[in-house]
Amino acid sequence: MKKIIALILALVCIFSLAACGQSSAPAAESKPAAEAAEPKVEAKVYKISCGVAETHFEVAAVKEMEKYVEEATNGSIDIQIFPNNQLGDDKEALELIQQGVVQMCPTGTGVLCNFEPSFNFFSSPYLFKDYDQLNEVLGGEWGQALLATLEDDGFLGFGFGTLGFTCISNNVRPIVNAEDLEGIKLRAVSNAQLVDFWTAVGANPIAMSFTELYAALQQGVVDGQYNPFTTIEASQLHEVQKYISKTNDIPSLVCFVVGKDAFEGLTDVEQAAIKEGVKIACDYMNTKVIEENEKSEQIILEAGKTEINDVSDETKTALFLKGYDVIEKYGKESNEELFNQLMDILGY
């Protein structure tokens, strides 16, 4: 009997020790979910207004910039592109930049001179001969000095993109001689120098927004307009124009303008990314401009609604001389020092 009791007591001790062993290990502590995940930093929205259609190669250039900037900043900047004047025309976009609503606009220089008169230099038809000459001037010291004039208006200019040299289209007659512009109602940008120049060479300029142009041509409010082939084709202006003359009168440029305050509010890394992104966009445009304009010219020809003709150097020179007094007047009024430097560089 004593042996049986001893055996029972031994078994009880063994089971007690086993139970103690199972509960002796401390339970693992779990970390709260909030401690495990890093807080996500909200990206800075960077709105870019473009005045051309989404199919235009300017927008393609800005998309190249978007890709670079978002990768270079690891997503801290969210580029948002608004083509086709969704946020207003270039003049309205510049005003929105001053208000801090929009951060960047590749702005036509013909509009920019309403804020900084020095940009009137690009409203001088037949001043620049070709792309090589144009890019050399803009990429040099003179171009940098011109961009620096924007700061007093709350802007910074980071580079130029070329859209092409403008060609005159109209529904009256092809432009072969200087006299052929006589009496043609020509849509002009809101720029006093260009209005005066076209008046001096015999046309009847009418200032209006680009957004109104297609309907105005269709309804006969104006007879013609001037833009590069890329803009004419992308905006389908050739559908309502009988003639396009390769006058190559004005270098159609955009200046990549940013808001000074908004830019200075970025980190050093973000600022560097924006500057490099603009360079990428400008290089894209200046490399593709000839190819894109030739492609657009071919598309217009194949549409079969519009005649295209070459214009001789003699006709271009005649138009330049007829309007030269206007060019000199506005050049000296805008910025006499920069104007004189430019004329020396160009050999006039």
Query: CA-to-CA distance for 70 and 27, rounded, in angstroms?
Result: 45
The predicted model scores a pTM of 0.76
* Residue 32 confidence (pLDDT) above 90: no
Q: How many CB atoms lie within 10 A of CB 43?
A: 14
Grouping H, G, I as helix, E, B as strand and the rest as coil, residue 88 is coil
Tokens describing residue 182: 């006589």
- The bridge status of strand 307-310 relative to strand 204-207 is unpaired
- Position 40 scores a pLDDT of 60
Q: Which domains does the chain have, with CATH numbers?
A: 44-346 (3.40.190.170)
254-273 mean pLDDT: 96
Give the pLDDT band of residue 325 (cuts 50, 70, 90): very high
* Residue 30 confidence (pLDDT) above 90: no
Mean of all residue pLDDT scores within the chain: 89
- Position 316 scores a pLDDT of 95
Query: Taking the mean position of all CA atoms in its chain, how far away is CA 172?
Result: 32
Query: CA-to-CA distance for 348 and 318, rounded, in angstroms?
Result: 15
Angle, alpha carbons 113-117-121 (nearest 5°) = 80
Grouping H, G, I as helix, E, B as strand and the rest as coil, residue 82 is strand
153-175 mean pLDDT: 96
286-300 mean pLDDT: 94
| pLDDT, tens only, 122-158 | 889 999 989 999 999 999 999 999 999 999 999 999 9
| pLDDT, tens only, 185-244 | 999 987 788 899 999 999 999 999 888 999 999 999 999 999 999 889 989 999 999 999
Query: CA-to-CA distance for 163 and 108, rounded, in angstroms?
Result: 10
